[in-house]
Structure 1
Amino acid sequence: MKRLVSYLRTTKDTPEIRSKLLVKDTSGNLKTLTHFEGTSGQNRQRNINRILESTKLSTERQREYVDKAKARNDAYEDDEEGEIREIEQGINELNEIFQDLGTLVSEQRSMLANELSSASQLQKKARNRMCCLAVVGGIVILAALA
């Protein structure tokens, strides 16, 4: 039983070890109690004290194990909550970036439409000037030939 108790709070500590410890502890207590019937009062008291010490030690170690496991779980939950908050913040920032990008694209679209409109008007004016120059040039050539 002492060997099993020594496994508590170590890498060898498993639920199976804990079950074995509980079974051994209980069976040992029963054997000791049946043995008490035939022993003297002083031996009986010593045996009871040993059983109580072993049980107390086992209970303390199991309680410490549970407390540490709860603390680890709480720490994991806190870490996970922090990571979730960071992910949420990143998603919100990404959303803001895409909204800003959408605004920029919309502004550039209207600017590009204005540029294309003025380029089209300039091209039309240039065509009209070329036509006028061609007509004037044709008249000058006809006048020179005549």
Structure 2
Amino acid sequence: MTKHKGTAEEVEALDVYIKLMRASKSVTDAAHDHLTKEKLSDTQFGVLETLYHLGALCQKELADKNLKSTANITTVIDNLEKRKLVERVRSEEDRRYITVHLTEEGHNLIHRIFPDHARAIVKCFRSLTAEEKKTLGDICRKLGKSQTA
């Protein structure tokens, strides 16, 4: 609980915010624990997973899908490229347009580790019933959409 002595609305909002942030950190840490042995950051894994499921994308699309800035994604892609897990491909029609593709090595890595990731996510949410998971998802969607309105 918050120690803030503000209005009832402030205390209530801060209390739920603290719970949300702590739960988010706990779930993220548990779900991404397996990435340490692969020497992947959360964002590197996110980029590989996005490319694995959606195919080649430009850096801006990757940034949007991973909720990161384009500057951050550039660094992440640079590091993945150094490991030969992704490659940048310049469009022949419009040389300004560059897409990021998984390499064979990158595809093999994400294909091998994604099942562990899926199992870790399932394990994180085992304490919730199907109805509670749906309710949580609905609440998260509502909260997220209310910030952009």
Of Structure 1 and Structure 2, which has the larger fraction of its residues in strand? 2
Judge same fold: TM > 0.5, yes or no.
no
Q: TM-score, normalised by structure 1?
A: 0.24
**Rg (Cα) greater in structure:** 1
Q: TM-score, normalised by structure 2?
A: 0.24
